[in-house]
Amino acid sequence: MDHIWRDRMAYILGAAKPPDGVCVFCEAPRHDDATTLILHRGQLAYVIMNIFPYNTGHVMVNPYAHVDSPEKLDAATLTEIMLLTNLSLRAIRLASNPHAFNLGANVGKASGGGIDQHFHFHIVPRWPGDTNFMPIIAETRVLPENLNDLWARLKPAFEQCAKQ
């Protein structure tokens, strides 16, 4: 095993949170894809890897618009978010062959959303037995692949699937 990643506790405890007034989802598209782990850019939304993933290959589809709820997005943006969700499913299947996915969004602070001021849609690949005792007894999640290595593997899959 190359890496053991600490679970989301660094984020939850605030150590990894951006300064007040900075939205990581508005800031990310202003930088290059490899630095920010952006996998695909659409016209109205983009796909980015979660740097505090629930599981290996966890990505998010984010609108460029800074809104806190999907009901504030126009139909074109909502459509692109779902099309990028389908693109993500195809690309992650191609690159990682998961057996299933969890899809969803946390809207509002009380729902568990870590970044509740900018709506985003989660795509979490799943495999049988992908959870183990580590998160329960050690508050540590074991992820078998470094995020930069995974990005380098997923990016070509996204490019290939986007052409189809």
Helix, strand or coil, per DSSP, at residue 159: helix
Contact 159, 25 (CB under 8 A): no
Out of 40, 58, 120, 122, the active site residue is: 120
Contact 154, 53 (CB under 8 A): no
Helix, strand or coil, per DSSP, at residue 6: strand
CA distance 127 to 82: 23
State both tokens at 96. Answer: 């990682």
The CB-side HSE value for 93 (13 A sphere, CA atoms) comes to 10
Is 40 an active-site residue?
no
Q: What is the full DSSP assignment across 75-129?
A: HHHHHHHHHHHHHHHHHHHHHH--SEEEEE---SGGGT-SSTTS--EEEEEE-TT
Catalytic residues: 120
